[in-house]
Structure 1
Amino acid sequence: MVVSSTNPHNKEIAIRRRISSIFNKREDDFSSLREYNDYLEEVEDMTFNLIDGIDVSAIEEKIAKYQEENAEQIMINRARKAEELAAALAASKGQPALTDNDGATNPNSQAGFGAVPQGQYAPTFGGQPRPTGMAPQPLPLGGGDMLGFAGDDKESKRLREEREARAGGWSTEISRKRAHEEAFGSLWVC
């Protein structure tokens, strides 16, 4: 597959995504760190040559041969990555990871294949989670409404805003000093 794009950055991203979905072995798939590093170096060399258009036909043949010989391992690694993404997503939402023993939905079980709770993300083989259903929208930091917390009076709102500004590194002294420097810097002495 030859990627033609006017933007070289988009071309590189497309090539790297494609190569990483095919050459998806991990360190634990190798008997030594040296073998793994050699594998990574070979993959990066092919990626670099594809991006720069160097010997593309030979590299495409090599990729097709690797894909044919390692199709099962590629699919196993994609499934493992999808399971890890699902587990990480469940952990980020405070839910326990599901296993074969749970009797619940497991990405490897035939009964639960494709079944995802409403509002959750279903991992795809492409590596990016796909939304399923209507997930609740995240609340803004600090909670409450956009104009402030319910029941806040003006003084507590002012104090909270000052603390937030100081936490971000802003202070009235810095603003005042900058305003003076800008004002005096714009004066011309003739």
Structure 2
Amino acid sequence: MVVASGTNSYAKEMAIRKRIANIFNKREDDFPSLKEYNDYLEEVEDMTFNLIEGIDVPALEAKIAKYQEENAEQIINARARKAEELAAALAASKGQPAHADTTIDGAPSQNSLAGSGQSQYAPAIAGATLGQPRPTGMAPQPIPVGGGPDMQGYAADDKEMMKLRAERAGRAGGWSAELSRRRAIEEAFASVWI
């Protein structure tokens, strides 16, 4: 059956991607430059692809184990940060007010969650998943209020930084100012009647 093997390979790919994302969980702000971050993402994707396709698996597993050992503290901190963000998003979706106890970079501190009656973050055992509760029903989405981190985890920036992000997002989607100008000129000349 082709469907069963396709579903099985999809499940295998998703399991591998989830495992790798749990280990290689650095963000753009963990790197001094965008190029270094993109190189990191490319290396992680190459490893993921090779694991999925079964290419040089023993060497990749050794590399992953070495990375895990060398960066154990960073991995745990990133998992904790993600768990805190999920807990804050869950609290916001339930209409509970956000806590003022935050760290220097604007992310909620672990103390802010300890006093709120929510459970503390406990790191997952390798390969295990956190049983994060999910919001149920048709609760309205929370409206972001300035000062806290946005959906990507960045603190609210000034207008110049927001403009730069919007410009980068457009370029990532294949849009450019030149493309827009060229199209406007073509449409203008196409509408001229002689």
TM bucket normalised to smaller: 0.5 to 0.7
Question: How far apart, in 2, do the equivalents of 1:58 and 1:71 lie?
Answer: 20
State the identity as a percent. Answer: 62
Task: Show the 5 A alignment for 1:26-175.
Answer: 26-100=27-101, 108-109=110-111, 112=114, 115-116=117-118, 125=124, 126=129, 129-130=132-133, 138=137
Q: Is residue 86–residue 123 contact of structure 1 (8 Å, CA) maintained in 2? A: no
After superposition, what is the alpha-carbon deviation per residue over 1:51-106, rounded to whole angstroms, capped at 9, x for unaligned? 000000000000000000000000000000011111111122221223437xxxx8
> How many matched pairs?
125
RMSD: 3.5
* Greater RCO structure (CA 8 Å; 6+ sep): 2
Q: Could you list the runs of 5+ residues in structure 1 that have no partner in the other structure?
A: 141-190
* Change over 3 Å in CA distance of 1:82–1:43 after alignment to 2: same
Rg larger in 1 or in 2?
1
Question: How far apart, in 2, do the equivalents of 1:96 and 1:123 lie?
Answer: 23
Q: Which residue of 2 aligns with 1:9?
A: 10
* TM-score relative to the length of structure 1: 0.56
* TM-score relative to the length of structure 2: 0.54
Q: Is residue 31–residue 37 contact of structure 2 (8 Å, CA) maintained in 1? A: yes
